Amino acid sequence: MSAARVLDRIVGAVRGIYGDGSDEQSRWGQVGEVLQAALADPELRAAAGDWPTSHDRANRRYTNLLFYEDPDFGFVVNGLVKDETGRTPIHDHGHAWVAYGLLEGTETILRYRGPVGSELADGENPALEPDGRFTLAASQVDLVPPWTFHAEQAETERTVAVMVRSARVGRFAHRRFDPDTGRVYDHPGPRQIPYEL
């Protein structure tokens, strides 16, 4: 099975989940299971060897490979490649759900508690506190609900993630938290680069 067929399988399964009338929490639990099954596919792993690193260091912004955007339900399938220096700022994904699966490597995931991004104004100074730290390894999926502050940090020379998001980022504001100033600010999120599998 080619990587494109793996993508077709993910898309078909997620479209089916959207059509079954599940509530959001159940829907995204199922999407996470679909993604986890896809991460085990050797064709997808082989294809990922050629994916470009997703840093845009000059603008303090990551790019995402955009594999698919659904015309009916709006969900997207993305790729993200980090090198050993890859560390995201503390951020949320706005109103979007994200199933974040690692295809290669190991990352540390940091979670934060406090006011959610939807309750904060640009420039506000929230009381965010660490709320957990765990390791995400290849073939594992982290399910990130909307407005959840978090960060990822590469722990290996290269990490490759595949994500299913409920909406295409870059079209709406996300929140970032700057620990140096203690303030949140609006940010457009990762730039989307169409990429054919």
Give residue limits of the domains in the chain: 3-194
Q: For residues 53 and 30, what is the distance between their CA atoms, to the nearest angstrom?
A: 29
pLDDT of residue 57: 62
Q: What is the pLDDT of residue 99?
A: 98
Q: How far apart are CA 86 and CA 27, in angstroms?
A: 30
CATH of 3-194, one of 2.60.120.10, 3.30.420.80, 1.10.10.10, 3.40.50.300: 2.60.120.10
Element holding 134 (H helix, E strand): strand 129-137
Q: What is the pLDDT of residue 37?
A: 96
Q: What pLDDT is recorded for position 87?
A: 87
pLDDT value of position 1: 52
pLDDT in tens, the chain (197 residues): 588 999 999 999 999 999 988 899 999 999 999 999 999 999 999 999 999 988 766 656 678 999 999 999 999 999 999 988 888 889 999 999 999 999 999 999 999 987 666 667 667 677 788 889 999 999 999 999 999 999 999 999 999 999 999 999 988 888 888 888 888 888 888 889 999 98
Nearest to 46 by CA among 107, 99, 4, 100: 4
Cβ distance 141 to 64 under 8 Å? Answer: no
